[in-house]
Amino acid sequence: MNRLPSSPFHAQIDWDEQGLPHSRVFDDVYFSDESALNETRHVFIEQNQLQRRFGELDANGRLVIGETGFGTGLNFLCAWQLFAACAPAGARLHFISVEKYPLSPADLHRALALWPQLAPFTDALLKHYVAVHEGFQRFVFDQGRVTLTLLIGDALEQLPLIDGQVDAWFLDGFAPAKNPEMWTPELFAQLARLSAPGTTLGTFTSTGWVRRALKAAGFTMKRVPGIGHKWEILRGVFDAWPADAPAPDTAPPWFARPRTPLTERHALVIGAGLAGCATAHSLAMRGWQVSLLERHAQPAMEASGNPQGVLYLKLSAHGTALSQLILSGFGYTRRLLENLQRGTDWDGCGVLQLAFDDKEAKRQAQLADAFAPDLLRVLEQTEAESIAGISLGSGGLYFPEGGWVHPPALCRWQASHPNIQLLPHHAVLQLQRNDGQWQAWDGEHLLASAPVAILAGAADVRQFAGAADLPLKRIRGQITRLGQTAQSQALHTVVCAEGYVAPAREGEHTLGASFDFHSDDLTPTTAEHLSNLDMLQAISSDLAERLHVGQLLPAQLQGRAAFRCTSPDYLPIVGPVADSRQFAEAYSILAKDARQIPDQPCPWLEGLYINSGHGSRGLITAPLSGELIAAWLDDEPLPVPRSVAEACHPNRFALRNLIRGKLKQG
């Protein structure tokens, strides 16, 4: 494996003579010495009474732990070990931790090797510790029993982005004297915002001003005897938001969580492409029963049916909602792929985006300034050629952790979860709400029913009343399959310009993809194969030669076409669905004054959700969107910042239309 030296983005660590990690930036230790496990257990686990609380969880119960300072993950691993030992089967642990300087994978290996007693948990963390970049990074362990959401960035910037509630806090951000920024009233106000009465807290420090500031934030604090090097430590419990502080911001009603009392954890998911399979899988991992209805004989027969799709990151240097979603989604998909077969189901061979003109080269230089080099870096032409294994017309931007995926393999793996019943040849023609159930009908036949339904049929979601007004557009695209040759085996990485070409999978390269905004016909055309071959020439005439393109007969070119499904702002549409007429009535005041926030709760279509609009990057956005839907449904912390969830929310269009005076009331 290619390993980059750790970049400034990573923690700068010195190892002392005992082999313990020491932070160069903070001049402090990550943990004391061999007694660190006992300290973690005493300070964080016992002060939060986790053994009892894990043991008392319901069969579908969940406990959310929040931490400041993930460091080596030792506290997380200890909490997980205890959870595995004493929580009932079916209960879940959700751990959210914030970290400004994540350890490089090499340093994490070295630090965690100190604790062989945690080996099964450590091994899982290390296996999934890939593509850990800024923002929200979600990990799923133990078939979904344990979720870790790492917020990579400064605690004071990241904590305000969380939409969720924490049951127990671990405050572990180096000593207050060495790192006062982790112990400020602003940060404690965030802890209070995310706490409910009864939320507990443990910290190794007993510093007076920390205790007083936590008290001022609404926690009752108590000094208790410490352990090892600590004479005294603190425990606390949250009482209430302080009466004299202005109330924290809450979401406006159109983005607030629907409070649907759930009678039964059973959902219908309509459509078994990347979006539907991901949603079904995220729910199934949480113990839901899922009926996955698909009109074709098997999953991934439409847009998600290409032999190879690329993990292509179209980022912005300005941290837009889309860029944040892409970075979080890339990390999540990349970790998910660790569960699949490398070589046939996917390959992390890297992705090279060529700097094919000056404008693109400038854009790439800006991205290289904005992001860490282990995510992306600019390559000069000769280095790019040596990594790609072929001659190129320019250098470009290289994503070492990118690669290609066989989307049907990901869909099939997700849909094979035992809690999912895949119903092929089930074309849903009508969806009706009766007696608290969504009923999926095919003309006269009732196909399935459940209290919750998720629309995941790409642009065809508009056939159902709740989604009929969504501005989804279909864009036809065609890929060309090219047989591998002895010479094309040299291609080692995905290369993209206007189109893309991937190293061969099972003897074939995928070359993609055309864009046609007008055609409704999915029969592959020779004209589009030829335009794909033109894109190949533009990527590399050397590769085109290696693939003997000049000798191919146009009429014999093979490939497939499908529809992408995009929204006007290129963000997917993910979340709960409201009744559009009632929405316009309830919030009509916004047409006159867009700053108003009326009291009326949003007129949700109870139990109806959507996961669609993934455009050209479903591999990156659809899996995390499955987690987002599951988080909405199970009232969990969201896997993305609240602002990103709002940017993807189905209500955004109705809201914009209302404000622009375009929505008619019923």
Ligand X SMILES: Cc1cc2nc3c(=O)[nH]c(=O)nc-3n(C[C@H](O)[C@H](O)[C@H](O)COP(=O)(O)OP(=O)(O)OC[C@H]3O[C@@H](n4cnc5c(N)ncnc54)[C@H](O)[C@@H]3O)c2cc1C
Ligand Y SMILES: C[S@@+](CC[C@H](N)C(=O)[O-])C[C@H]1O[C@@H](n2cnc3c(N)ncnc32)[C@H](O)[C@@H]1O
Residues 43-72 touching ligand Y, rule: CB under 6 A, are 69-72
By CB under 6 A, tell whether 181 contacts ligand Y.
Answer: yes
Based on DSSP, count helices (H) and strands (E) in the chain, helices before strands: 19, 31
Chosen residue from 9, 54, 83, 101 binding ligand Y by CB under 6 A = 101
Which region, judged by CB under 6 A, interacts with ligand Y, from 170-178, 249-257, 414-422, 548-556?
Answer: 170-178
Question: CA angle, corner 74, sides to 72 and 79, nearest 5?
Answer: 145
* Cα dist from 617 to 327, 372, 405, 564, 613, whole Å: 12, 22, 12, 9, 10
Tell me if 242 sits within 8 A of 216, measured CB to CB.
Answer: yes
Count CA within 13 A, CB hemisphere, residue 177: 7
Name the percent of the chain in helix, strand, coil, to the closest 5: 35, 25, 40
Tell me: does residue 628 bind ligand Y (CB under 6 A): no
What single-letter DSSP state applies at residue 629? H
Report the residue number, 146 or 355, with the smaller CB distance to ligand Y. Answer: 146
Which option in ligand X, ligand Y, none does residue 501 bind, with CB closer than 5 to 8 A by kind? none
Q: What backbone torsions phi and psi does residue 321 show, to the nearest 5 degrees?
A: -55, -40
Kindly tell me which residue out of 41, 100, 286, 417 binds ligand Y, with binding defined by CB under 6 A.
Answer: 100
CB 402 within 8 A of CB 311: yes
**Contact criterion met (CB below 8 Å) for 387 and 379:** yes
Binding flags for ligand X, 306-345, as an x/- string (CB under 6 A): x--xx-x---------------------------------
Pick one of 367, 573, 619, 631: the residue that binds ligand X (CB under 6 A).
Answer: 619
Minimum Å distance from CB 389 to ligand X?
20
Select 37 or 552, whichever has its Cβ closest to ligand Y: 37
Does the footprint of ligand Y cover residue 107 (CB under 6 A)? no
Please report whether residue 136 would count as binding ligand Y according to CB under 6 A.
Answer: no
Instruction: DSSP letter for 5, please.
Output: P
Partner from ligand X, ligand Y, none binding residue 172, C-beta < 5-8 Å depending on class: ligand Y
- Nearest to ligand Y of 112, 388 (CB atom): 112
The residue among 467 and 658 lying less far from ligand X, judged by its C-beta, is 467
Task: Give the list of residues 6+ apart from residue 219 with CB closer than 8 angstroms, or none.
Answer: 188, 191, 192, 195, 201, 236, 237, 238, 239
- The answer to whether residue 559 forms part of the interface with ligand X (CB under 6 A) is no
Compute the C-alpha angle 294/640/467, nearest 5°.
40
**Contact status, residue 352 vs residue 494, Cβ threshold 8 Å:** yes
Q: How far is the CB of 49 from ligand X (least distance, A)?
A: 43
Q: Which does 69 bind (CB under 5 to 8 A by kind): ligand X, ligand Y, none?
A: ligand Y
Q: Any idea how long the chain is?
A: 666
How many chain residues are in contact with ligand Y, going by CB under 6 A? 22
Is there binding between residue 42 and ligand Y (CB under 6 A)?
no
Binding site for ligand X (CB under 6 A): 270-276, 293-296, 301-304, 306, 309-310, 312, 427-428, 456-458, 460, 477-479, 512-513, 562, 564-565, 612, 614-620, 622
Binding site for ligand Y (CB under 6 A): 11, 30-31, 69-75, 98-101, 154-155, 172-174, 179, 181-182
